[in-house]
Amino acid sequence: MKTHWIEREVTGSSMRAYVAEPRGVPKAGVIVLQEIYGVNDFVRTIAEGVAREGYLAIAPDLYHRTDPGLDLSRPEGQERGIAAAFATTLPQIVADLTASGAYLSERLGPEAQIGTWGFCFGGSIAFISATLPFVRCAVSFYGGSIARSPVPDRPAWIEQAREVRAPIFFAFGGADEHIPPEDRETIRKALDGRGKHYEMHVLEGEGHAFFRLGSESNAGSREIWPRVQAFLARYLIL
């Protein structure tokens, strides 16, 4: 595996992205979507783990317009990370996702199979990614901005449910203090009512960001990681 940074021009701004490449020919591509803390060590580690599974991974810097290169630690960076996340807009996010998908298609060919995997802030963006035509599947870990919007005057992203095109894999902690059961039910009802394909996994006893320390860090992570692997393989390896 090898890693490197690239830069892409997106809507007049230079977007940096971390790329992790597998050994040999990639199976497909995965866009890794950051938490509020930027493309930090956790996000880079996830991209590298995806690459070890045989996928070409790209983790775009979604803050490149306002806070380029932001790389924060937890919990000290929480306030700044929230402010940076709130400064993003849906059209900007779609543009960044599209540019990341274009990079993967350039590398893998026009028939490239592309998925997404996001965490917290990025988990909500993974939901949005499932509305885009080039995304074959999306993995959303504890996306707290799907059922309700944390930003005044911004609609909750569940309102985009009718536009969902790709299957979505949701993972939530059953003891998540930030995402109550009623939010999960809101997501279920919106997607069920429109006949959308999804899986929802609730890891009982796990809190928010339970995957943050890796796939072997706790019972929930050990349980969910093989399911993510199987989901990606099902939709991306044809």
Domains observed in the chain:
2-236 (3.40.50.1820)
Instruction: Flag the least confident range among 88-92, 182-186, 213-217.
Output: 213-217
Q: How many Å apart are CA 138 and CA 217, to the nearest integer?
A: 23
pLDDT per position as a tens digit, 4-60: 999 999 999 999 999 999 999 999 999 999 999 999 999 999 999 999 999 999 999
The residues that are catalytic are 120, 176, 208
Return the structure tokens found at 129.
């990614």
Mean pLDDT of 108-116: 95
Return the structure tokens found at 213.
């320390």
Q: Which residues contact 102 (CB under 8 A, 6 or more apart)?
A: 8
Higher per-residue pLDDT: 172 or 75: 172
Q: How many Å apart are CA 63 and CA 46, to the nearest integer?
A: 18
pLDDT per position as a tens digit, 150-205: 888 889 999 999 999 999 999 999 999 999 999 999 999 999 999 999 999 999 99
Strand ranges (E), 112-189 = 114-119, 135-141, 168-173
Q: Which residues contact 119 (CB under 8 A, 6 or more apart)?
A: 33, 34, 35, 42, 43, 46, 141, 142, 209, 211, 212
pLDDT at residue 91 greater than cutoff 80: yes
pLDDT the model gives residue 2: 97
